[in-house]
Structure 1
Amino acid sequence: MTLGWEQLGVGLLSAIAKRQGHDVQLAFSHSLFNDRYNLSIPSLAPFFDDRNDVIDKIEKQRPDVLAFSALTGTYQWMLGIARDAKLLNPGVKVVFGGVHPSAVPERVLAQPQVDYVCVGEGDVAFPALLRAIEEGGPAAPIPNIRYKLPNGEVIRGPQAGFIQDLDALPAFDKTLWEDHINIGDWYLTMASRGCPYRCTFCFNNFFARLPEGKSGKYVRQRSVGHMLQELRAAKKRYKIRFLEFEDDVFTVDKKWVREFLYHYKREIDIPFQCLTHPKYMDEDIARWLSDAGCRHVQMGIQTMDDEFKQQSVKRYEKSDHVYQAMEVMRKYRLNPKVDHMFGLPGEPVEAQEEARKLYVLHPPFRIQTFWTNFLPGTQLVRQGLAMGLITQEEVDRLNDGIDFDFYRESAKVSDPAKRKLYKTYEVFFKLIPVLPAWLRRRLKPKSFQWMPVALCSSISFFADVLVGLALRNPDHITYAKHYLYHISRFFLQKAGIRLPAPTKLNAAARENTAPKERPAGASVPSDVLVGSP
């Protein structure tokens, strides 16, 4: 597991495979100081590299099927794991799925260590593939699956529509992660799938268009009862301190939100956070969220230039929607965390000043800044090619997971003056949550123009960390505790000392965790899931 944290897609596929009778194990990488997303410190990462531990786990387990769910940033690492696993166990079948393989399936399947590629959702395709492997191999094309015959011929299954009944799926398999993360510190779940928007930089831009023929609804919702059933069981098993709904837009269905939050407060009553969109946040929703115990709401803003936003990013909310959403969230003490992007192709630099005005008037609890990345399959890649910002050679390397930009870096902004401008705004945005109102109004990003870019980057990083810890942001607190645990575990294991698992179970749950024996004569494939959705 290369991102060092729980991935809901992997947990769901594990639950589906177990329901079919398979033995599922996880090969987990803590990825300290190199998680390909939040934190990358090249000087420290090699010292804590646990790649050999992942290989050892796979070698000891000797799975029949090795499954990876890859992002562009993790793809090359996973290919290397798959290659070494094949050398140790030539008979293992390697399956790649997830966002990156769904964007460029032909390139992934062309790799000699990859036997199967799942394109799009795998809820039906993955168990169908496991069943076919158990029977000696696919006898016919499998929807959403592509594979190679011994002669090299590629068999391409049809792209099926999206699963519509989410209640038919099992709950996420949390037991898979109990030895690696403290599930009670940050319980992750989702109440829906899909996003109503197709932002040019996001995987939803192409993922929603994958099915051939009738696709069904892309935005789908679990029933209130199904969602509560999962949370009741989780509350019984774990000592949950905080909960996050990872839906793209948790508030997309207002009627569902009202009913669910009514029962959530009465039956679950655990502090939580969720994600929203400016057009799906109003006074009613803000009040319901606050009453139910919501502590934070994350909302993507990205840019405050309305014309550019609509024409180039394909986001159709107006600045008025953003201001109104920020105002009601502030009114009901929902501590908004906003996502802001730098380096969007063609964005007028004046858009940063418009964003500054918003953040000064309605200071967020945190401004999470991202530097624009080109992701395979998205419309943003085609825009970048047309504008001459990237070459076809760079796109090819990107499709192979090479030279993938880190979200906190700025390699694609080649204009030094523009990059310096963005960096000064980034420093200012990181400080806004703790600046008094009078200083927010008086201080300007130009106050930091004397700083070198490298110094701006360092100040932005440390300001984000220190402000987050000072404000007791649950993201920062949980992340810090997770790192401290795995750093301690790393050194103690070298001394022959084994730390207990990070997840704390409730007493009743501990009594029910004794290993269950498999019936005599049972023979089912063993699946090691390695990857991220």
Structure 2
Amino acid sequence: MKVQFVYNGAENLGIECLSSFLKSNGHVTALLFDPAIFSGDQLINNKWLSRICSIDDLIVKRIADEKPDIIAFSCFTGNYRWCLSIAEKIKRVSQIPIIFGGVHVTAVPSEVLSNACVDYIVIGEGEYALLELVQYLENGKEKKLSEISNLGYKQDGKLYLNNVRAYIKDLDSLPFPDKELFYNKVSLFAEHYYIMTSRGCPFNCTYCSNNLYHSTYASEKNQLRRRSPDNVIDELKIAKLMWHPKLIKFADDVFSSSKEWLQKFIPLYKSEINIPFFCSVHPNTMTPEIAKLLKEGGCWFVTMGVQSGSERIRKEVFHRFGTNEQIVKAIACIKDAGMTISVDNIFGAPSETEVDLKSSLELYCRTKPDRILTFWLTYYPGTEIIKIALDKNELSQEDINNANKGFIGFTHESGSVNKDKKKMYQKYAVLFQLRSLVKNNQVYCFIANFLSYMPFKDILVKLVILLNGFKNNDVMVFNAIKYICAKKKIP
């Protein structure tokens, strides 16, 4: 059968994994892709320009012309309304079965399945559920719908949600992601090869999608599963031969989670691949030994989630258990090893005050990271931080219902921050970004006093992000600009 994936934004590793799994079992896949030039998390986010550049009708026409057997959408909260809009338009011209999967579906399965344009949903890890559903739709003999774990379906006007099967333990048993699916649409993606060596996260931060998966798979003792070093190297050998990437992007939530794994992997990577790479780490896992390993392997850029310089916010609200001293030492390890360090900070935590923001600024002034990225907190459905915000009277049930329906801002632009506090956060966004650009304390204080009272702080923040990118020779910023310029109006 032919499964037609529909997606917007950027490369999606989950879709690539599903596609390769279906292909390895004899099915055909294709992708209709909307690059979403001026929407989502792009450097330029403009609703008017986004409407002008919309290719929604072209996507629907292509589906009507090509008549695939199944249509599959991968949904996160930010693109859920777009997925529904496309699915509704498809149903007006075709009765092809439509499947929704992804993190938003896992969070609110009944909400998603209740839409008339959605025929089936897949919850959690989707490889086996999607394959078994495709087999059912092809011949109806393999399994009954009620026997397919992780599946949601409709029958006689009722919604049914089946049990969730255990995690896939042996990640080496899965085929490598189907990179051609996206690379044939946007060849620029191949310059930065996107790969995961693991699934899951050893931590359980309240705002993160992993918090949802920890509760969905609560019976699982080990939330983190990792591929063998040899298996990862085999994939990268193929990538090096076929796509000639300039940079490897390890997309693991915490690439530094195991020193023992890195000790096996890094020598293989250095001898067999030897391409500069980028990864994400956690302050609690960073040591001088791990920093040295990463640098020796070719790592030049590291991102670290700090999220707040207030230990109270991190512990009580985010459930990130660690001290500021651990963060100071972790950043020092990375800088001493000769790598560029970028840290993430979340604005808008429930009960956050200016005292907490000043604590963050003090921490960044002390550690001087090369880049500080600020994000607005977004209350994603199914995450524990929603209950925390409810208890602190910072969310209403109406807010939660809106989030469940996908009426929510993107993290870079608006998120769920209290609008009364927006000016305060914009001020600190400028101060944080400036701190990573200007290292001299006297110069920083002079410029900060001047800029903090200027209007148009959102524009100032984006300008400083670009300046930081040029200063650090940040290929990700350059690639984002090239990506916007290279996108085509062909799905």
Task: Report the CA distance between 1:473 and its aligned residue.
Answer: 0.7
User: Structure 1 residue aligned with 2:436, among 413, 433, 449?
Assistant: 433
Task: Report the CA distance between 1:148 and its aligned residue.
Answer: 0.6
What code does the residue aligned with 2:422 have? R
Superposed CA deviations along residues 55-114 of structure 1, whole A, max 9, x for unmatched, are 222223211111111011111110111122222221x11111110000000010101111
Partner of 1:220: 225
In 1, distance between residues paired with 2:40 and 2:62?
A: 20
The answer to whether the 8 A contact 1:38-1:408 is kept is no
Partner of 1:510: none
Q: Does 2:90 match 1:89?
A: no
5+ unaligned residues in a row in structure 2: which ranges?
A: 1-5
Task: Report the CA distance between 1:425 and its aligned residue.
Answer: 1.4
Partner of 1:525: none
User: Within 5 Å, which residues of 2 pair with 1:297-316?
Assistant: 297-316=302-321
Question: How many equivalent pairs are there?
Answer: 483
Partner of 1:516: none
Q: State the superposition RMSD in angstroms.
A: 1.9
Q: Does 2:266 match 1:256?
A: no
User: Structure 2 residue aligned with 1:322, among 318, 327, 332?
Assistant: 327
The answer to whether the 8 A contact 2:434-2:448 is kept is no
- 3-state DSSP of counterpart to 1:239: coil
Partner of 1:464: 465
Single out whichever of 37-46 and 388-397 deviates more from structure 2: 37-46
Partner of 2:132: 128
Task: Report the CA distance between 1:485 and its aligned residue.
Answer: 1.0
Partner of 1:363: 368
Single out whichever of 435-444 and 226-235 deviates more from structure 2: 435-444
User: Structure 2 residue aligned with 1:40, among 30, 40, 45?
Assistant: 45
The answer to whether the 8 A contact 1:160-1:215 is kept is no
Task: Report the CA distance between 1:253 and its aligned residue.
Answer: 1.1
Partner of 2:480: 479
Partner of 1:209: 215
Partner of 2:3: none
Partner of 1:233: 238
Task: Report the CA distance between 1:308 and its aligned residue.
Answer: 2.7
The answer to whether the 8 A contact 2:434-2:444 is kept is no
Task: Report the CA distance between 1:211 and its aligned residue.
Answer: 3.1
Partner of 1:524: none
In 2, distance between residues paired with 1:95 and 1:293?
A: 41
What code does the residue aligned with 1:18 have? K
Single out whichever of 216-225 and 81-90 deviates more from structure 2: 81-90
Task: Report the CA distance between 1:334 and its aligned residue.
Answer: 1.3
The answer to whether the 8 A contact 1:141-1:156 is kept is no
Task: Report the CA distance between 1:286 and its aligned residue.
Answer: 0.5
In 1, distance between residues paired with 2:463 and 2:314?
A: 30
Task: Report the CA distance between 1:38 and its aligned residue.
Answer: 5.6
- 3-state DSSP of counterpart to 2:264: helix
Question: Residues 234 and 410 of structure 1: is their aligned pair in 2 closer, same or farther, counting only changes over 3 Å?
Answer: closer
In 2, distance between residues paired with 1:411 and 1:35?
A: 12
Superposed CA deviations along residues 297-335 of structure 1, whole A, max 9, x for unmatched, are 111000112133112211111111100100010111210
TM-score, normalised via structure 1 length:
0.87
Question: Residues 85 and 383 of structure 1: is their aligned pair in 2 closer, same or farther, counting only changes over 3 Å?
Answer: same
In 1, distance between residues paired with 2:32 and 2:448?
A: 45
The answer to whether the 8 A contact 1:167-1:226 is kept is yes
In 2, distance between residues paired with 1:127 and 1:317?
A: 42
In 2, distance between residues paired with 1:394 and 1:39?
A: 27
What code does the residue aligned with 1:341 have? I
User: Within 5 Å, which residues of 2 pair with 1:367-378?
Assistant: 367-378=372-383
Partner of 1:294: 299
In 1, distance between residues paired with 2:415 and 2:22?
A: 41
- 3-state DSSP of counterpart to 2:147: coil
Partner of 1:283: 288
Superposed CA deviations along residues 227-251 of structure 1, whole A, max 9, x for unmatched, are 0000001101012101100000011
In 1, distance between residues paired with 2:406 and 2:36?
A: 17
Partner of 2:203: 197
Task: Report the CA distance between 1:446 and its aligned residue.
Answer: 4.8
Superposed CA deviations along residues 174-193 of structure 1, whole A, max 9, x for unmatched, are 01012222233111000011
Superposed CA deviations along residues 107-130 of structure 1, whole A, max 9, x for unmatched, are 101011111111111122111111
In 2, distance between residues paired with 1:433 and 1:386?
A: 35
- 3-state DSSP of counterpart to 2:184: coil
User: Structure 2 residue aligned with 1:169, among 158, 174, 177?
Assistant: 174
TM-score, normalised via structure 2 length:
0.94
What code does the residue aligned with 1:144 have? N
In 2, distance between residues paired with 1:142 and 1:449?
A: 56
Task: Report the CA distance between 1:2 and its aligned residue.
Answer: 4.2
Superposed CA deviations along residues 446-475 of structure 1, whole A, max 9, x for unmatched, are 5434223xx111111122123313432111
Task: Report the CA distance between 1:444 and its aligned residue.
Answer: 7.5
The answer to whether the 8 A contact 2:39-2:46 is kept is yes
Partner of 1:442: 445
- 3-state DSSP of counterpart to 1:199: coil
In 2, distance between residues paired with 1:42 and 1:247?
A: 31
In 2, distance between residues paired with 1:191 and 1:365?
A: 26
Partner of 1:160: 165
In 2, distance between residues paired with 1:312 and 1:434?
A: 29
Task: Report the CA distance between 1:36 and its aligned residue.
Answer: 5.1
Superposed CA deviations along residues 252-296 of structure 1, whole A, max 9, x for unmatched, are 111001110111011100011001100111101101111111010
Quote the sequence identity (%).
31
- 3-state DSSP of counterpart to 1:208: helix
- 3-state DSSP of counterpart to 2:215: coil
Task: Report the CA distance between 1:371 and its aligned residue.
Answer: 0.7
Question: Residues 384 and 446 of structure 1: is their aligned pair in 2 closer, same or farther, counting only changes over 3 Å?
Answer: farther
Single out whichever of 138-147 and 324-333 deviates more from structure 2: 138-147
- 3-state DSSP of counterpart to 2:301: strand
In 2, distance between residues paired with 1:234 and 1:471?
A: 26
Partner of 1:527: none
The answer to whether the 8 A contact 1:33-1:40 is kept is yes
What code does the residue aligned with 1:27 have? L
The answer to whether the 8 A contact 2:7-2:73 is kept is no
- 3-state DSSP of counterpart to 1:209: helix
Question: Residues 412 and 436 of structure 1: is their aligned pair in 2 closer, same or farther, counting only changes over 3 Å?
Answer: same
What code does the residue aligned with 1:102 have? T
Partner of 1:106: 110
Partner of 1:517: none
Q: Which has the higher helix share?
A: 2
In 1, distance between residues paired with 2:443 and 2:193?
A: 35
Single out whichever of 326-335 and 443-452 deviates more from structure 2: 443-452
The answer to whether the 8 A contact 1:30-1:50 is kept is no
Question: Residues 425 and 23 of structure 1: is their aligned pair in 2 closer, same or farther, counting only changes over 3 Å?
Answer: same
What code does the residue aligned with 1:242 have? L
Partner of 2:21: 16
